[in-house]
Chain A
């Protein structure tokens, strides 16, 4: 068991983390490449101020939530993401890993605060999970992977909580910790290949005004390729 634990948080973690980094470099690289190879004119035509404003108002959605038809979703979604990101990066045991792995020293979150954020994240997760079952529109657009990813994140938080609270932990510490690390590693691997990639694609999905700058002459080329030079409407 000790060997498995060491393997999971050693080589396996490095592989998962490396896979994530390489995957995200590819995902972001494709988007950056697209931006860099666009014509200067199409970039300067785009309404950057509006795009940036929309990007930021959605990260901190106070202004948006006020008029939204779905306030609870926005509140819980915001709480879910905030709790998850803060705990993943700044929980004391995680910052120790960051320090040993990369040499980067991040400010640390104490156990009390981490517990509170864990609770917030899990409550929000339950809301999001239930919404996907209860609300007909969300149920209609959800498939198995949408539920599994939420369950995986939930499992990661629950196992992490138990591993740090021996008095309530129903399993031996090393078993719980192994489960926690495996869940975490799996999430890292899934980030670049599933919808979790929205973590890094977020700014790029908001660039649709740039994408509306179609390539001049492209329509003509498409028509000629499909119908020949005599293409008619």
Chain B
């Protein structure tokens, strides 16, 4: 199977057709008078932000050649022409052109053109949440039109009039205005309890007595993961800790109790939230006087920090690295040794769109995996061209989208995984892990889903600790 002939098993429109029904659950009722409200909000966004020139360029240039359709995993599965990226974009561009440009004003004067109706607006509201904003289509667009950015702009304006997913909205409210200050509502004391639990687990596994550094000032690294990892992904966190310990950096990192959540849903739908959440992360780094933000295995958290700390950070701006970059750098220094005889299963790697599409984190995980996994196989396509898992753009956090994520958005990924014949799917992203685990269950794929550091934890050689072989034998006994 190559990129040229990947057959999505539902290509001819047998899947869940869009039904002109909002996929997401709103917090309140659908607002009345929404055409006027939407246009008002759009006008305010245009006045205060820099979207005009982008929209001007796209309005002037978009040729609607539908090349984007050749790579959209949603359209390939649904077969619904309304899912074609340039169709969705065209609605946004038409609204902009008609109501906010001279050309639109002129065409209106001469009695022609486009009028925004409630039906069109409702269709757009539906379509922007049927898109994972993964930007795979941009890679095929001859003009490089960033449909993910347009989807996001549409979502942003909708969010300003009360049309946004309740699940994301409630999480962000807790993160920015709630008591716990994080999306999973984990009080700092509970997070510390989790760290103690992880330390006990690590002691049992490795035979090492460790205490996680909490609120330590003046450390090189301050660690932020998707906060849900504290509840759902203990092995990833233990893998992270094992790497830091093995690298001799145990006294160089810390976790802050003021803010330990890397999640930034603002990336998916709101400039306001994005900006504020980035600055909350930086406030904690300032408080602890840490030099570098070390972001755990999470695609969108990594991108939100890496791409937007320089944008919104002001004087607090500081370097941001993804944990896989950290691990590879320590490996290259010879500080991390991985036993090449432990992982015998066939392993594949799913690239989270948020870190791979720009080419930022593509080679690093492969270099790590190839150093200790004998049977590594790529998905097709992979790297910058990889398909989204179907949970991207915040959809995976909205339970009401489950059927859509399985039947439509996740179908390409299921086919890709099946074609590799892998027994282990590695994906270093909290959102992708949840979605891919659900896909594996839904399509009954014979494989296990885990993070890269979960796998590293199995194979890491730490002097003075139990060897990977010993650990494997113990684990096998429990099986």
Contact = CB atoms under 8 A, between A and B. Distances in A.
Interface string B82-96: 001011001000000
A222 B274 contact: no
A233 to B, nearest CB: 4
Nearest to B380: A67
A34 B132 CA distance: 29
Contacts of B2: 67
Nearest to B310: A45
Interface residues of A, number: 59
Given A137-B75, A219-B273, 12 more contacts: A31-B57, A50-B358, A70-B67, A137-B66, A138-B69, A146-B63, A201-B60, A204-B61, A205-B61, A206-B144, A212-B146, A226-B40
Nearest to A71: B4
Contacts of A38: 50
B170 to A, nearest CB: 9
A222 B45 contact: yes
B142 interface: yes
15 contacts: A33-B53, A34-B53, A50-B358, A69-B3, A69-B70, A141-B84, A195-B61, A207-B57, A208-B144, A208-B149, A214-B274, A222-B272, A226-B40, A226-B160, A233-B172
Contacts of B84: 137, 140-141
A138 B307 CA distance: 34
Interface string A200-223: 011011111101111111111111
A50 to B, nearest CB: 6
B150 to A, nearest CB: 9
Contacts of B220: none
Contacts of A198: 60-63, 143
B61 A201 contact: yes
A178 B172 CA distance: 65
Contact of B271 (A31, A68, A214): A214
A67 B81 CA distance: 24
A212 B149 contact: yes
Contact of A67 (B4, B87, B272): B4
Contacts of A142: 64, 66
B176 A67 contact: no
Query: Which residue, B60, B75, B275, B307, has most C-beta atoms of chain A within 10 A?
Result: B60
Query: Which residue, B44, B310, B311, B385, has most C-beta atoms of chain A within 10 A?
Result: B311
Interface in B120-158: 138, 140, 142-146, 149
Nearest to B4: A69
Contacts of B266: 219
B276 to A, nearest CB: 7
Interface string B37-70: 0001100110111111110111011111111011
B469 interface: no
A131 B83 CA distance: 19
A27 interface: yes
B254 interface: no
Contacts of B314: 216
Interface in A41-75: 41-42, 45, 47, 50, 54-55, 58, 67-71, 73
Contact of A212 (B52, B103, B307, B381): B307
B71 interface: yes
B359 interface: yes
A195 B57 contact: no
B114 to A, nearest CB: 11
B312 interface: yes
Contacts of A214: 49-50, 271, 274-275, 308, 311-312
A62 to B, nearest CB: 14
B272 A69 contact: no
B81 A77 contact: no
